Amino acid sequence: MLWQPINLTEVCPAHTQLTACSNFGYIYLALLAHLYGDSEDRRIQEKLHIREEETFGKEEYDFIVVGAGAAGCVVANRLSANKHWKVLLLEAGAEQPDVTLVPGLSTSLIGSSIDWSYQTEPNGKSCLARKDQRCGWPRGKVMGGSSSINSLVYVRGNKLDYDGWAALGNEGWSYDEVLPYFKKSENNLDLEGLSCYHGVGGEQPVSRYLYIDRPNIMMTQAFNQGGLPIRDYNGPFQVGAMPAQAITRDGIRVSTNKAFIQPIRYKRRNLKVKIKAEVFEILLSDNKVAYGVKYMKNGKVHTAYAKKEVIVSAGTINSPKLLMLSGIGPKEHLSDLNITVKQDLPVGENLHDHVTFNGLIVALPNETATLIAQDQILNEIKCYKDMKVKRGPMSADGPANNIAFIKTEPDLLAPDIQFHIGHLHRGDYVREPEIADEISIFPTPFYDALLVRAMNVVPKSRGKVLLNPANPYGKPLLYANYLDDPTDAIPILKAVKFAVSLENTTAFITNGARYDRTPLTACKYYEWGTDEYFLCLIRSYTSATHHQAGTCKMGPSWDPKAVVDPKLRVYGVPGLRVIDASIMPFAVRGNTNAPSIMIGEKGVAMVLEYWLNKSHG
């Protein structure tokens, strides 16, 4: 059986150090291809005898939505609920393959054909031990976007974040004003008395994993014994620890594609979805009104027209790229590329991400480790496929199930550190974490060491997205600029000391867990445990958290760095909005998938309000 929706074997050349191209690697990939070689969208199409063929004649719609990611799927769903409006949803990637539904295979998707596989540009201050001093930035190139390939964690951020947005002049974006939009989408399956903070009737399932292994329990207990209360980090207080809330139901990933598009895609005749359709230009009239897009599909250029609005939901990287290709962006940069400047705006600036590092390794003894023999791994994958309600290790995302937030100074009003736990296969694959975990094609539930990552959720460093002079239509230049502000490392260093102290907890001791104190190669001239050693790790083994934000910044008209207004309308370009994580003035304290869904809900609500009031007026 040919596996068309995703081709993991393309990853092999980059993964030779991980033995992905060994006999077991090929067997593993072949098994995935056999078990998960089709997609639910494709099967529904065949059952209903529906084909989304090329449109002949003039393509005219009321709304065009660019990007079927965390926000775009929400936007397309809500707009197409009005049967009088025709909506076109364009996605550059393919259908969402079934392999993405397995939480335990999340890291297997990195570097595959449904990943844009972006990389940062070196800045000489971070990612120093990585190849060419570049950090990898995987982003979903598939229906559902990054919600189809991420670590599934559902974190909203802190009340202070949204109140901070509002304080900058973004009317309507305070915590109390955005909370209803979080609740609208959410269908919380583990509600335990905090109904005023959670929704139960929305399209997006949120639940804890059905399987929690021994190291996960150990880490939650250790955080608790280290002084962190067990509490709902999406409730009124964020400081604490808790097993992750995730975008799962019955042990299956529920991306925004699966939650918002699949249920309606072949029922609403006014919604048209096109995959492998990459938009490369937003059409603007002489007076700069957006009226359509040009996109590439099957090697041909197509034009689609929007009678009401073009809505860009292509994400923090691709949204600014598209705007700049269309002449909307920094005048100097566009002029250098001979792109006609139609609207001079700081598009692509204010790029930032929560920064962390690999290298703080917790070694697990055999009785605590979850690493199993290769034939057992294959058997677990097959067993998962056969279960109606998915349980067992493949139904969870390994150690990523642990979430904790701390304040590194007692007088802080909100957390400045989020802990994320990664995994390692120390004995069988690599020991150097500059590549471990981030490109592992093997299932996440099976490991014999943990990576404790402390991420700075309030970074000061800012970078930018630029078009590539060698090929503006290709991968853009991503200047993450991690650790450009040296103070960004300070809270991480303080958090590392807290993490190391967990070795003295009963949870660590009774499970035989200990920190591996062997200095890593890039920092071998420093003594393990010293500030100098950990600072070296932070700069050498820098790791992205994939929470990129800010490149089409939302702000009031007096903000010189604003690209969109508080209603997400692009300044000076009527008929064009950006609705995704790129509009964040600053990233929230936490993962960005849940906030992106909220931005989709609130953003489309403003679109609906405008056009419904206009029609009634």
Residue ranges for the binding site?
A: 142, 150-153, 279
Gyration radius (Cα) of the chain, Å: 23
111 near 14, Cβ under 8 Å?
yes
Q: Rounded CA gap, 379 and 429, in Å? A: 21
Q: Name the active-site residue from 15, 420, 546, 547.
A: 547
Pairing of strands 271-274, 87-90: parallel
**Tokens 């705007």 sit on residue:** 323
Strand 118-119 and strand 186-188: pairing?
unpaired
Distance set, CA 587 to CA 197, 436, 438, 492, 583 (Å)? 21, 26, 22, 17, 9
Beta strand extents in 240-382 (DSSP E only):
240-243, 245-246, 248-249, 252-253, 271-274, 278-284, 290-297, 300-312, 328-329, 343-344, 349-351, 355-357, 361-363
Distances 274 to 259, 277, 315, 502 between C-alpha atoms, Å: 18, 6, 18, 50
Which are the contacts of 270, defined by CB distance < 8 A and separation ≥ 6? 80, 82, 83, 84, 85, 86, 87
Per the document, the length of the chain is: 617
Q: Which pair of structure tokens corresponds to residue 353?
A: 């991400």
For residues 533 and 520, give the distance between their C-alpha atoms in angstroms, rounded to a whole number. Answer: 9
- Ramachandran quadrant class, 185 (left: phi over 0; alpha: psi -120 to 50; beta: rest): alpha
Q: Which residues fall in the annotated binding site for FAD?
A: 142, 150-153, 279
| In the block, residue with structure tokens 């997400």 | 568
What whole-number distance in Å separates Cα of residue 361 and Cα of residue 534? 12
547 is catalytic: yes
State both tokens at 577.
């909005």
Catalytic residues: 547
